[in-house]
């Protein structure tokens, strides 16, 4: 019995584990019943028997034996004289089963059947992939980097399915190499040229939300609810949480003992600073909390215009604004209010300054500590002193001081 080498086709089915056996049988049966209809005009009296283990099939033709000269339907009936040539013991009225050789269909028809079968299997695998990831939108997946391109990264999941992580969905500090395993959230599933394209994201607030859900059991159990997340990927994030159990401190539960729970997330997000705050319906209190780590001394609120004037002590202003203005930008996104920052007891806006801690990714911590020792805790306080003065008053080398001043100057030139 010629099997037209169906092993490969069945292997394709096995690779797509979610395609069940009945579906596989149905597809193969459909393909060969199409062949039968083309050759005989009907498939009614034919049985297609699939053997998935061996990778072959049988086609049996079923006809009723009738008296000689009484054949009305050659597809469904066979004359007694012809039947006994096949098997001498046959009698009129019995069913005659005869195997149809696949080679009888012709080489061209067999090739077409193989191509159709491969195409149908491909479509099924696409549908399985589409259904699987459509149901996983918003979930975190782990996948291996297969190819790194300029605008996107191609990843393979545990079943070898292709996933895409665009550059726009990567944290600016992300750097991945082939073979590396990375985590991301399934952002959306698109259809391009009739093929599913699974888009992942590491910059979505949902990614941070799911990481918190993994690390904080109280969130997973629903005892703590994440009310809102705003992010500047790789820079800073603010997470507003609320507890449904008065005995649970939502901020403490999210951060963990000595930051144990939040530390792994910060590392995953390339040292993104994460501020976890208590959610409140009191707008004034929410604005105050959203501007953490700064401390507010006074506030003027205009609820109608969703606008707030916030007053702080001079040393707190740079903390409220944050590096590149990220802190105040996120506070505005979190609260929905436009926030203007002023020096305490003055109507003039504060001159833009930046706390030295905001440069911890470019300036080593021991250098920042040394500058703080001489009273320089903001960028402008360092730049106000000459390089010679800094060299005299600190234990820093001239090259280190020059590097620090260059980094700080570049930041103000960007602004």
Q: Return the pLDDT at 17.
A: 47
CATH code that applies to domain 140-203: 2.40.50.140
Q: Helix, strand or coil for residue 410?
A: helix
What is the per-residue pLDDT for 237?
Answer: 95
Give Cα separations from 371 to 1, 66, 260 (angstroms).
Answer: 86, 107, 29
Instruction: Check residue 115 and give its pLDDT.
Output: 75
- Let me know: does 115 contact 9? Beta carbons within 8 Å: no
**Distance in angstroms (rounded) separating the CA atoms of residues 234 and 231:** 8
Is-contact 102 3, C-beta < 8 A?
Answer: yes
pLDDT at 22: 67
pLDDT digits (tens, 9 = 90+) for 224-264: 999 999 999 999 999 999 998 888 899 999 998 888 899 99
Query: Which CATH code is given to the segment(s) 206-343?
Result: 3.30.300.20
**Nearest Cα to Cα of residue 292 among 328, 323, 241:** 328
3-state secondary structure of 243: strand
The SS3 call for residue 55 is coil
Name the fold adopted by 7-132: N Utilization Substance Protein A; Chain:P; domain 4 (3.30.1480)
β 236-243/77-79 pair status: unpaired
pLDDT at 55: 55
Q: What is the helix (H) or strand (E) element at residue 20, kind and residue range?
A: none
In the predicted model, residues of the chain with pLDDT beneath 50 are 1-5, 7, 13-14, 16-17, 347-348
Q: What is the arrangement of strands in the sheet containing 224-232, beginning at the earlier edge strand? A: 224-232, 236-243, 273-278
Alpha-carbon distance 303 to 406, whole Å?
A: 42
């Amino acid at each position: 019995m010629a099997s037209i080498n169906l092993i490969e086709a069945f292997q394709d089915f096995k690779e797509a584990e979610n395609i069940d056996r009945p579906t596989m049988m149905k597809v193969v049966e459909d393909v060969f019943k199409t062949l039968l209809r083309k050759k005989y005009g009907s498939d009614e009296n034919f049985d297609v028997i699939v053997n998935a283990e061996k990778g072959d099939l049988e086609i049996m033709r079923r006809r009723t034996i009738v008296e000689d000269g009484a054949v009305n339907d050659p597809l469904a009936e066979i004359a007694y004289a012809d039947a006994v040539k096949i098997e001498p013991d046959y009698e009129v009225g019995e069913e005659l089963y005869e195997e149809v050789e696949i080679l009888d269909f012709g080489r061209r028809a067999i090739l077409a059947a193989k191509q159709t079968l491969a195409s149908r299997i491909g479509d099924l695998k696409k549908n399985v992939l589409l259904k699987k990831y459509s149901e996983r939108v918003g979930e975190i997946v782990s996948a291996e980097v297969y190819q790194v391109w300029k605008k996107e990264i191609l990843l393979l999941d545990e079943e070898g399915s292709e996933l895409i992580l665009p550059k726009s969905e990567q944290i600016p500090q992300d750097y991945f190499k082939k073979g590396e395993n990375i985590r991301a959230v399934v952002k959306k599933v698109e259809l391009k040229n009739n093929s599913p394209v699974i888009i992942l994201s590491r910059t979505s607030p949902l990614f941070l939300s799911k990481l918190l859900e993994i690390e904080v059991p109280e969130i997973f159990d629903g005892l703590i609810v994440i009310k809102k997340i705003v992010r500047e990927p790789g820079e800073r994030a603010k997470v507003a949480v609320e507890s449904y159990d008065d005995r649970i401190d939502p901020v403490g539960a999210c951060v963990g003992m000595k930051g144990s729970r939040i530390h792994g997330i910060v590392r995953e997000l390339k040292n993104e600073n994460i501020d976890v705050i208590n959610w409140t319906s009191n707008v004034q209190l929410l604005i105050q909390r959203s501007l953490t780590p700064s401390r507010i001394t006074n506030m003027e609120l205009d609820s109608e215009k969703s606008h707030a004037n916030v007053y702080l002590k001079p040393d707190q202003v740079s903390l409220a604004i944050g590096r590149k203005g990220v802190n105040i930008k996120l506070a505005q996104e979190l609260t929905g209010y436009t926030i203007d920052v002023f020096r305490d007891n003055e109507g003039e806006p504060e001159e833009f300054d930046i706390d030295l801690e905001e440069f911890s990714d470019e300036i080593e911590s021991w250098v920042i500590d040394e500058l703080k020792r001489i009273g320089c805790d903001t960028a402008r306080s360092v730049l106000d002193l000459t390089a010679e003065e800094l060299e005299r008053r600190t234990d820093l080398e001239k090259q280190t001081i020059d590097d620090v001043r260059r980094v700080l100057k570049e930041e103000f030139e960007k602004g």
